Amino acid sequence: MKKLLIACLVAIPMFTAAQQKETLTPDKIYGELFSEIQLQKVFPDGKTFVDCTPKRKVADIMYDYGLAKGPGFDLKKFVADNFNLPATPTYNYTSNTKESLEAHIKNLWAVLKRNPDKTIEGSSLLPLPYPYIVPGGRFREIYYWDSYFTMLGLRESNEWGMIENMINNFAYLINTYGHVPNGNRSYYLSRSQPPYFAMMINLLADKKGPSIYAKYQKELQKEYDYWMDKTAATKHVATMPDGSSLTRFYDADIKPRQESFKEDYDIAKAQANGDEKAFEAKSKELRSGAESGWDFSSRWFADGKNISSIQTTNMVPVDLNGLMYNLEITLAKAYKQTGNVMEATALTAAAAKRKAAINKYCYSAKQNWYYDYNLATQKQSDEKTVAGVSPLLFNIAPKAAAAGIAKTLQADFLKPGGVVTTLKTTGQQWDAPNGWAPLQWMAVKGLENYGQKELAKDIAGRWVALNEKVYKNTGKMMEKYNVENAGLDAGGGEYKSQDGFGWTNGVYLAMKAKLLQWKNIKAPPAPASKVQPAKLQ
């Protein structure tokens, strides 16, 4: 496997003026030093080093490394002497479980807030011009799809200024890099995440009016162009058997993810059997799985069990295409606001075609559920996941299908703490027994859209109760929860369960508000009798 290792080791760059203008990732900045640190597991979590900052000039560090490496070289000491560890302020926060969870979360917004960034040589952080909210724990930067669900809570806290700041940061990222990266780190630039920018614009427009669509038209168009492969060397667009187009996740890079370098390297190496092309292909599949936000899940595995069989780029995800449908509808609104009727009409037509393709290729009337579509087998996936409820969120499902979908959701996915992510327990974090805040909201809001309020209230009530129980016992809001057994922690994944936590905070506040709204809605008055009272003589 020596060739594979060499392929991962990037030559130490010469710091010319021209090269300084490009965004350099940690592997390009630190070359062999980067690979050695990650492969030797100097830090238990591979994300730690790529978030470190140098204590002195990078060129000086690399010069000294070149002189010092060799027999007897103490790599851990060299790293400790030359790099500052990333800060995790949320660990210093002490919660007060005597206060309400709502009050706790409102206090947490200040803890999770980051001010506009400053450029630091050798840092992987992509500086943002406006304040923002991070998820918490090891996640020290803004994350794309997390942020929409965080905004739901900021809305309930009346933090509209922060919502707008975060949207402006995403607009800045789109204008600067051509897309919203997974997070504002250089090592995330090769991929995005589920495209929630249009959903954020809709959220802000609900508050400030339709002029918001016109304000962000340019960025919405650039976001659309990125996912339609018009501005980047990606292959997000998938051609279906009838010639229609749907969208898949696709990271164009072919190296192990820098923040999970050792994990990806080991998986790809084991599968490649010395074949460099196979190593690169497996790395791409792992990266594409990370773009999905579901990293990782049996949803992406060819054998439904093992990450070694990951085939993300073969799958056409139903929820991703719901987001693309929403993006097309939202962009059409933007063009309508600016008077470009032709573009608005074209995008509305594109959305209609996408909706038809989703219903054709992803819906199973027999099973009352939506599935991802497998491009390799040209069949619906065998993996049944809670993403199948997403067409209700995006108003894609036929009205006649809603009751059947709700019945399937209740029968297969509803657990004591909410809805479970998949029906399989594989040890991956996006599988059973785990439940995630964004997926709870997707189910609850989708059911509400189609008048299935009783089940929506049931799910919301279970999730809220689980959040409150864990908070009472631990003083924390977690990244994910065990919805099958509230007495056990959520598990799986490449890192321990994180607390903070941005999107859980957001969805909790939104769910509480929704439950209160439903509670306060009075039953409609009985219809007036059609029998007219007798007239007095």
What pLDDT is recorded for position 488? 84
What pLDDT is recorded for position 520? 82
Mean pLDDT of 273-287: 97
| Lowest pLDDT segment from 11-20, 44-53, 206-215, 403-412 | 11-20
Whether 56 has a pLDDT exceeding 60, the answer reads yes
Share of the chain above pLDDT 90, in %: 86
Whether 181 has a pLDDT exceeding 70, the answer reads yes
Yes or no: say if 190 and 290 are a contact pair by the CB < 8 Å rule. no
Mean pLDDT of 14-28: 60
Whether 279 has a pLDDT exceeding 70, the answer reads yes
Yes or no: say if 10 and 279 are a contact pair by the CB < 8 Å rule. no
DSSP 438: H
Q: How far apart are CA 326 and CA 210, in angstroms?
A: 16
pLDDT in tens, 189-219: 999 999 999 999 999 999 999 999 999 999 9
Whether 2 has a pLDDT exceeding 80, the answer reads no
What pLDDT is recorded for position 489? 80
Whether 537 has a pLDDT exceeding 50, the answer reads no
Indicate the pLDDT class of residue 10, thresholds 50, 70 and 90. very low
Q: Max CA-CA distance within the chain?
A: 115
Q: How far apart are CA 100 and CA 93, in angstroms?
A: 16
Please list the residues that pair with 183 across neighbouring strands.
Answer: 143
What pLDDT is recorded for position 521? 72
Whether 232 has a pLDDT exceeding 50, the answer reads yes
Encoded tokens for 21: 């203008």
What pLDDT is recorded for position 211? 98
Encoded tokens for 414: 């509803």
- Which residues, at least 6 apart from 223, have a Cβ–Cβ distance to it below 8 Å? 174, 179, 180, 195, 197, 198, 327
* Dihedral (Cα; 188, 386, 101, 454), 10-degree rounding: 150
Yes or no: say if 30 and 75 are a contact pair by the CB < 8 Å rule. no
What integer best gives the mean pLDDT of the chain?
Answer: 92
CA distances (Å), origin 331, targets 205, 466, 473: 13, 37, 45
pLDDT in tens, 480-521: 999 999 888 876 666 566 778 999 999 999 999 999 999 987
**Residues classed as catalytic:** 295, 479
Whether 530 has a pLDDT exceeding 50, the answer reads no
Whether 138 has a pLDDT exceeding 80, the answer reads yes
What pLDDT is recorded for position 522? 59
DSSP 429: T
What pLDDT is recorded for position 209? 98
Secondary structure of residue 23 in the 3-state scheme: coil
| Lowest pLDDT segment from 15-24, 299-308, 345-354 | 15-24
What pLDDT is recorded for position 450? 98
pLDDT in tens, 307-338: 999 999 999 999 999 999 999 999 999 999 99
DSSP 362: T
Indicate the pLDDT class of residue 29, thresholds 50, 70 and 90. very high
Mean pLDDT of 454-458: 98
What pLDDT is recorded for position 524? 53
Question: Residue with structure tokens 């819906």?
Answer: 363
pLDDT in tens, 234-271: 999 999 999 999 999 999 999 999 999 999 999 999 99
Yes or no: say if 212 and 204 are a contact pair by the CB < 8 Å rule. yes
What pLDDT is recorded for position 7? 46
Whether 88 has a pLDDT exceeding 80, the answer reads no
